[in-house]
Amino acid sequence: MNGNEEYMLTSYTLPNGVELKNRLVMAPMTNFSSNPDGTVTEAEVNYYARRSKGVSMVVTACTYVTPNGKGFHGEFGGDKDEMIPSLKQVADAIKGQGAKAVLQIFHGGRMCPPALVPNGEIVSASDVPAERGGVSTEEPDLKPRALTESEVQEMIRSFGETTRRAIEAGYDGVEIHGANGYLIQQFFSPHSNKREDQFGGSLEKRMTFPLAIVDEVKRVVKEHATSPFIVGYRFSPEEPETPGITMGDTLKLVDELADKGLDYLHVSLQDFHSTAKRAVEDTNKKRIDYLLETINNRVPLIGVGSIYTAEDARKAFESGVPLLALGRELIIDPDWVQKVAEGKEADIVTKIDKTKQEELVVPDPLWAAIVNTPGWFPGV
């Protein structure tokens, strides 16, 4: 174990005083493996337990905060109190292996399949169909319905209510999912938000909904948590659509978020070293570098994106990012962190072994998605 690896494995204290045993986190990844009623399956619980021993913190797959927010088949729910025992199973599995358990809270907005939401009615900031990756791409005539102002206020409260359920279920924190084109991002994006009320229009008004959710979640934590409770926020830095979120827009949002008393920000990237594309002076400069400059040590940033080897992680930490999330790599090799700690980085597996589903403890729906999606995972 060399000095860089020791840094990777050193403890880190979040702003609220919670100590992480190392700087490596399991990234949130959809696993498609819950029951149709939104309760978790045994296979899903075992999947989390298998990956929670080495990392300091596990961010779960997203859980929907209202019935009309369900974005995936096999997504687990946090939309009513009856879900608390189900949510607790995942928290207990993660914490039982020594990691902090963080529930990612979410609404799919215009990306929800109509079959999964009440009356097939999808909602968003405005009635603008998605251009890519959403239901409206497959069904061009399908427009989301714009939420009314009172429904927006109710939605903000729903994020707070799911936070309360996370506290009652024994989680160590929540991560607000403001990334990947889902509802919170839809309010921030000039592509999907054409509103003319307090929640839309200028860049500042498009920040209103995301920031209101942060405020509500923090209010609920203050009211209900009896010990320090982690609150994080995940965001995507840019959108390809025109108009769409630019790197310049995101830096303004991040500047606001950095003063909100959050415990971390978590950027969503496919490639950790990707460069900024729009509304910045230097498009050869890495997004991570822009973000770290803007944050200026006010809040920890979790980096992520195609980190497979220990060397990949070392290079990422050289950027100055204090925490790093591993996603697909922890499905490929759940013992990644332990291998680094034991000086066995040469034994780290970086391509999925299609003969080892049982050994890797991957539920059938997730395994089917992996092996049937060429290019998603190395080795497929």
Residues with catalytic roles: 182
Tally of CB atoms within 10 A around 150: 8
Tokens of 257: 């978020």
The b-or-e profile of 161-186 (16+ CB within 10 A means b, else e) is bbbbbbbebbbbbbbbbbbbbbbbbb
CA angle 194, 198, 199 (to 5 degrees): 50
Q: Report the C-alpha gap between 45 and 41 in whole angstroms.
A: 6
Which CA distances in Å does 19 have to 100, 190, 321? 9, 38, 17
Q: Report the C-alpha gap between 44 and 187 in whole angstroms.
A: 31
Collapse the DSSP code of 16 into the 3-class scheme (helix H, G, I; strand E, B; otherwise coil) and give the result. Answer: coil
Which CA distances in Å does 375 have to 97, 239, 250, 344, 369? 31, 21, 28, 27, 11
Query: In this structure, are residues 103 and 233 in contact, taking their beta carbons and an 8 Å threshold?
Result: no
In terms of Cα–Cα distance, which of 361, 345, 341, 354 is closest to 308?
Answer: 345
Q: Report the C-alpha gap between 267 and 364 in whole angstroms.
A: 29
